[in-house]
Amino acid sequence: MKLSSVVSFFLVWCLGSNCLAVTNITFIGASITYGSGLPSREQQAYPAQLQRLLGAGYQVHNFGVSGCTLLRKGNKPYWDTKEYQLALASNPDIVFIDLGGNDAKLVNRPYFADLERDSHDFIRAFRALPSHPRVVVLLPEVSFVTDTTQIWDQVIVKKIIPALQRTAYADNAEVIDMHQLLVDKPVLFPDKLHPDTTGAGIMARRLYQLVSQERDTAFDIFAKLGKSPTSSFYGYACADFVMNNRNCKVVKPKWSAAGHPWIWRARFWGHEPQTDIALLERGFHVVYCDVAELLGNKTSNSLWDQFYTLMHGAGLSKKAVLEGMSRGGMYVFNWAAENPNKVAAVYVDNPLLNMSVWAMSVLKDPAKYGSLVNDFKADYNLTGEQLPFFKGNPTDKVRAIVRGKYPILVLVADDDEDVDPVTNTGLFEYKVKALKGNITVLHKPGFKHHPHSLPNPAVIVDFIWNAVF
């Protein structure tokens, strides 16, 4: 057979088998999408950097227009631009909507009541295209501008983002929090508003992760549990129900990551939720079973055993990521000590790990936490004289904890006034390392017990991701 015939045959076969198909990605946005302030926006804007990361097989279209609003009544509506029509005509497979920052300007604030309706209509306009694209809403990037009449970050955080999250919940649209991605990196914003090339690269890499990640769109935890969504958790559907007279919650991602991973919040539901939200974006489920204030005793562990059986039986992975803030550390590690083969990783934050020593210190001034000490004594059937000799702390169970061989991340505030870092995290870390356990301690110099977590939880999210995958 002649070479030309072979090439022709291959091309016909390839076209028929769709091997030359290109995934079209369309970006709608304002100046950051456009690439304003960059020396060479055609190469350095984050959509262009995403194109290089994705390579062959993808075609990225940048329809960013500086100054545009999502609001129809805004001072420069994206709806009225030619780029809007070009974006609709681009036959997209994936659409990223990066609007909302300019809506935070003073001139546009009178029209906030229309924001949810306008964002809903915007999403619907693209979903109605013949290509039926995957639509992803990007929450507005951080603004370090101090002029309150311009793009003011407090308005973005308190008004724009919540409205877009409500729309995402109502429309079951994917949403990516671009705000937290760079909130701790003002040095990457030369004009306090637009990220430099490095900042744009961070954005591009986050979206590359999203586009390239394996997704299970068929798995539905609610159907498996026989539950229906009852509330919104920052734009994600949450099922609230009762098990054994205990309030439980399951938050479902828009799609599940491979293997159906999950993070189990031990205590203080919804407090500093940055990590939970970031993991939901990546296909993790977030769950909760309220066992306050049982403080990791036998009853607490028994209830969690039943909840674990329910979650795993409904299709979540065999091993859960455990998350404990403050006294949540007691719940997390006491259960993990008894269930080493059911834990993928542990993340604790200013954790209470040495309850007996803590309780003895509280008794010197019981006004603030005296009732919790009473709960502790009742949970473990202790008298005041027995408190110093209690041996049911995570610091006493290190050998059982290390047996699980799962990685442990501790975030600790060095000036914590409520939970002494030395007798809790310090002692725990020393014992874990002595037994060759896998522990990482990240210090927050100058911080007190609050706030927990980090404004940008990337280091926590990366730790959990690497532990699971």
Looking at residue 1, its pLDDT comes to 43
Whole-angstrom Cα distance, residue 342 to residue 335?
Answer: 10
Average pLDDT estimate for 107-123: 98
- Residue 111 one-letter amino acid: Y
Q: Which of 290, 174, 289, 182 is nearest to 234 (CA)?
A: 174
Looking at residue 283, its pLDDT comes to 98
pLDDT tens for 155-166 read 999 999 999 999
Select the more confidently predicted residue: 361 or 459. Answer: 459
Average pLDDT estimate for 204-218: 98
Is residue 205, in this structure, part of any structural domain at all?
A: yes
Does 242 lie in the same domain as 194? no
pLDDT tens for 312-333 read 999 999 999 999 999 999 999 9
Looking at residue 145, its pLDDT comes to 97
Looking at residue 20, its pLDDT comes to 64
Is residue 69, in this structure, part of any structural domain at all?
A: yes
Residue 129 has pLDDT above 50, yes or no: yes
- Residue 211 one-letter amino acid: V
Q: What are the residues whose beta carbons fall under 8 Å from the beta carbon of 360, sequence distance 6 or more?
A: 387, 388
Q: What is the CATH number of the domain that holds 39?
A: 3.40.50.1110
Looking at residue 377, its pLDDT comes to 94
Residue 5 has pLDDT above 50, yes or no: no
- Residue 278 one-letter amino acid: A
Phi, psi of 412 (to 5 degrees): -135, 135
CA angle 103, 176, 200 (to 5 degrees): 80
Looking at residue 364, its pLDDT comes to 81
Does 200 lie in the same domain as 63? yes
Helices of type H across 178-321:
179-182, 197-212, 221-225, 274-281, 298-313
Residue 350 has pLDDT above 70, yes or no: yes
Task: Report the chain's mean pLDDT, rounded to a whole number.
Answer: 94
Is residue 264, in this structure, part of any structural domain at all?
A: yes
Average pLDDT estimate for 25-43: 97
Looking at residue 365, its pLDDT comes to 81
Give the residue from 186, 212, 238 where a domain finishes: 212
Residue 15 has pLDDT above 80, yes or no: no
Residue 169 has pLDDT above 80, yes or no: yes
Residue 337 belongs to domain spanning: 221-354+393-468
Give the residue from 189, 212, 235 where a domain finishes: 212
Residue 4 has pLDDT above 90, yes or no: no
Residue 420 has pLDDT above 90, yes or no: yes
Q: Which residue has the tokens 């009762």?
A: 242
Give the residue from 164, 182, 212 where a domain finishes: 212
Share of the chain above pLDDT 90, in %: 93
Whole-angstrom Cα distance, residue 294 to residue 331?
Answer: 8
Does 160 lie in the same domain as 44? yes
For the record, the structure tokens of 124 come out as: 């619907």
Residue 18 has pLDDT above 90, yes or no: no
Does 244 lie in the same domain as 206? no
For the record, the structure tokens of 53 come out as: 């990361």
Share of the chain above pLDDT 70, in %: 96
Q: What's the burial of 351, exposed, middle or buried (CB within 10 Å: 0-12/13-18/19+)?
A: buried
- Residue 63 one-letter amino acid: F
Q: What are the residues whose beta carbons fall under 8 Å from the beta carbon of 189, sequence distance 6 or more?
A: 142, 144, 182, 195, 196, 199
Residue 445 has pLDDT above 70, yes or no: yes
Does 200 lie in the same domain as 291? no
Does 198 lie in the same domain as 336? no
Whole-angstrom Cα distance, residue 399 to residue 180?
Answer: 37
Provide the whole-model pTM: 0.93
Partners of 286 in the beta sheet?
251, 263
Is residue 366, in this structure, part of any structural domain at all?
A: no
Coil vs helix vs strand at 443: strand
Does 250 lie in the same domain as 185? no
Coil vs helix vs strand at 365: coil
Number of domains in the chain: 2
Residue 368 has pLDDT above 90, yes or no: no
Average pLDDT estimate for 218-242: 97
Residue 7 has pLDDT above 50, yes or no: no
pLDDT tens for 292-307 read 999 999 999 999 999 9
